[in-house]
Amino acid sequence: MTVLQVADLRFGYAGDTLFESVTFSLALGERAALVAPNGAGKSTLLRLIGKELEPDGGTAVIKKETTVGYYRQSHEVAAEGDVLSAFMSGFRDIVEAREALVKAQHEAASGDAQALEQLAHATERYHVAGGDALEHKVAAIAAKLGFESVDLARPVASLSGGERGRLHLGVILAQQPDLLLLDEPTNHLDLDTIAWLEGWLRGYRGAVLVVSHDRAFLDAVCPTTLELGSKGIRVYPLRYSEYAVARAEDLERERALAERQQAFVEKTEDFIRRNIAGQKTKQAQSRRKMLDKLERVDRPEDVWAVAERVSFRFAPAARSGDIVLDAKGLEASRGGRKLFEGVDLLVRRGERIGIVGPNGAGKSTFLKLLAGRGDPQLDGGSVRRGTNLQEGYFDQHLGEVDPKRTAVEEVRRVRGDFTVEAARQYLARFRFWGDDPLRVVAGFSGGERSRLALAKLLLEPRNLIFLDEPTNHLDIPAAEILEEALVGFEGTVVLVSHDRRFLDTVTTRVISVRDAKVEIFPGGFSDFASSTKPREEKKERKPEASSARGNQPKSTSNAPPAALDEAARKKQHEAQKLKAREREKQQRRVKELEDLIAAGEKQLAEMRAKLKEDPGGDWAKLAQLASEEQAVARKVDVMMAEWEKLSASG
């Protein structure tokens, strides 16, 4: 059932159109990723769907009686009450019943008979409203988002920014709406929580529209990718990684089509010019009419082309010594809790070390100790620094950027020899154009501040760089270009990140900070994930086995052994029959897919052969054929993915 229908949507600011002709739909059970560079209007589109903005044209219709949950980056959670009340805030009747119950409990402490009777009524009302079941559900979601049972009683006002972000996400998830709009849901989540959220969303019954720069998250959650451009939206029934390949092929084909038509038009116009007044006047006039009627094929819009102009290049630096850092006995405590102790670490030149772990485990603290920025009152151990080091530090809270200054002033603080014009030219490499470099940093978005902080970091020669969540506010192209720059960096890198694709590309060694312990893993992030996966699977299997035993029918507990054996054999036989039927069904589907894929590939070969032929001036027909070829190619890709999955599981 379709719950969202967007048709010919148009929106802009101050007379400048941000996007137009945006059309797509979402049904229950569908999960789509909305992708585009920063500034293209992804969050604006979500706000239009969420009825926070009015479009300049077109419609965004949500089916009547559809419930909507909208997670915004701004963490709009009321600062009143405790965490549990906030989690349950989407259920007004139950919240009111809970407030009445808490009040009755306080009054019943006096022992008054009437107060005790009111407590009984309040308890019954809360139970009938489903408060107990909701509390259990909320507590389970809260635990996965990093809130322990004692945290549920904390005042919301006491939460940090990151905790408020996770609370806001939990409030939305607890409501289980028909339509989920998620704007950067992973920004304040650690790797464990992201993995849980992926599983939760994959099993979700409602429709989901996600904006995220986390490529691994998009691949895991969204089988469909929507690319937002200024002239419309491209819909790909593919995960992000597959979409990135398919769109490149589409753009190449569409550019070739536009160029062929342009060559034809130029050749025809040349014929008209040469013959309009000569013997072939009628032919020239006929061709002019043909050109007037010709439906022009525009060059395709490449929404990522401008974004890819970010230039992360490290200034050449002197070579450091082979031993960069030699840490002995590192330890740290926060809030009376020991984060880690007795940690020894030797960092060699050229290493790229990733620090991972749950929120609050001490990743940033560990990074600061290595960078010489620890708290002498709370931290211990020593870090010997190697020779000839030129160090740089990127702070996830962007404390290195002064919000009261302009971008130009920030650059000139590092490079006083830069003129204003030189600073503006340098900032243009980081997508600060026009008057952007003269704006005050306080008005910048998170992505703009991140790009400015990285621009400052790269101004001076560095051979040792510490990065704390460098991709948090970067769009996908900027993150990919930073990856390339770090992989080619000749110095040493120590970084904290929860971006798995970024970690997998960049790191050569991984440090895990978890449960007051620090473990060091050789190899990159994939090696680390593989080495820790069996341990996590073992943890997950234990409760399942226990649960399976606990869920056995009680009626058989006193049955005779023979009856139990017979029942067990019958149950096993039924399970084997069911498994055999499923296997036959799967084999039939594999054979069906093989036939469909073969037919699709044959059709594609025929269509591509026609696309290479001279269109004879019928460019509308050729454009239609190109569009049909793209649709068939995507269907074949989807069938191929299903075939590979079924074949692997069979």
Tens of pLDDT, residue by residue over 99-111, are 788 888 888 887 7
Strand (E) positions, 375-527? 379-385, 391-394, 464-468, 492-496, 509-514, 517-522
Last residue of a domain, which of 203, 224, 242? 242
pLDDT confidence band for 29 (50 / 70 / 90): very high
Between residues 581 and 441, the one the model is more confident about: 441
Residue 415 shares a structural domain with residue 290: no
Tokens of 350: 């050229």
Residue 521 shares a structural domain with residue 379: yes
Give the up-direction half-sphere exposure of residue 191: CA atoms within 13 A in the CB hemisphere.
26
pLDDT for res 341: 94
Residue 517 shares a structural domain with residue 386: yes
Of 34-48, 66-80, 531-545, where does mean pLDDT reach its minimum?
A: 531-545
Taking only the tens place, the pLDDT of each residue in 119-142 is 888 788 877 777 777 778 888 888
pLDDT confidence band for 309 (50 / 70 / 90): low
pLDDT > 50? residue 645 = yes
pLDDT for res 546: 34
pLDDT > 70? residue 633 = yes
Q: Report if residue 288 sits inside a domain.
A: yes
pLDDT > 60? residue 306 = yes
- Nearest residue to 221 (alpha-carbon basis) of 247, 242, 239, 244: 239
Domain carrying residue 382: 309-533
pLDDT confidence band for 353 (50 / 70 / 90): very high
Query: Would you give the end-to-end CA distance of the chain in angstroms?
Result: 31
pLDDT confidence band for 650 (50 / 70 / 90): low
Residue 238 shares a structural domain with residue 249: no
Would you tell me the crossing angle of helices 161-175 and 191-202 to the nearest 10 degrees? 20
Residue 342 shares a structural domain with residue 420: yes
Q: Considering only the C-alpha atoms of the chain, give the largest distance between any 2 of them, rounded to a whole number of Å.
A: 113
Q: Report if residue 620 sits inside a domain.
A: yes
pLDDT for res 626: 72
pLDDT confidence band for 76 (50 / 70 / 90): low
Residue 32 shares a structural domain with residue 151: yes
pLDDT for res 235: 93
Q: Report if residue 49 sits inside a domain.
A: yes
Residue 238 CA to residue 37 CA, distance in Å, equals 19
* CATH of residue 361: 3.40.50.300
pLDDT > 90? residue 233 = yes
Residue 432 CA to residue 176 CA, distance in Å, equals 40
pLDDT for res 57: 94
pLDDT for res 397: 74
Instruction: Look over the chain and give the mean of its residue pLDDT values, rounded to a whole number.
Output: 84
Of 143-147, 430-434, 617-621, where does mean pLDDT reach its minimum?
A: 617-621
Residue 319 shares a structural domain with residue 270: no
Q: Report if residue 195 sits inside a domain.
A: yes
pLDDT confidence band for 362 (50 / 70 / 90): very high
Q: Report if residue 542 sits inside a domain.
A: no
Of 32-36, 395-399, 419-423, where does mean pLDDT reach its minimum?
A: 395-399
Residue 262 CA to residue 268 CA, distance in Å, equals 10
Taking only the tens place, the pLDDT of each residue in 501-523 is 999 999 999 999 999 999 999 98
Q: What's the number of domains the chain is made of? A: 4
pLDDT > 90? residue 388 = yes
pLDDT > 70? residue 145 = yes
Residue 230 shares a structural domain with residue 265: no
Residue 235 shares a structural domain with residue 251: no
**Which of 11-20, 198-207, 586-595 reaches the highest mean pLDDT?**
198-207
Last residue of a domain, which of 242, 274, 294? 242
Would you tell me the crossing angle of helices 191-202 and 131-144 to the nearest 10 degrees? 130
pLDDT > 70? residue 571 = no
Residue 429 shares a structural domain with residue 501: yes
For residue 201, the SS3 value is helix
Last residue of a domain, which of 242, 269, 284? 242
pLDDT for res 133: 77
Q: Is the dihedral of CA 363, 167, 213, 461 positive or negative?
A: negative
Q: Report if residue 196 sits inside a domain.
A: yes
Between residues 275 and 10, the one the model is more confident about: 10
561: left (phi over 0), alpha (psi -120 to 50) or beta: alpha
Q: What is the pTM of this model?
A: 0.74
Q: Report if residue 547 sits inside a domain.
A: no
pLDDT > 60? residue 539 = no
Q: Report if residue 298 sits inside a domain.
A: yes
Residue 394 CA to residue 531 CA, distance in Å, equals 29
Between residues 580 and 552, the one the model is more confident about: 580
Residue 137 shares a structural domain with residue 105: yes
Residue 49 shares a structural domain with residue 80: yes
Per-residue pLDDT averaged across 53-69, rounded? 94
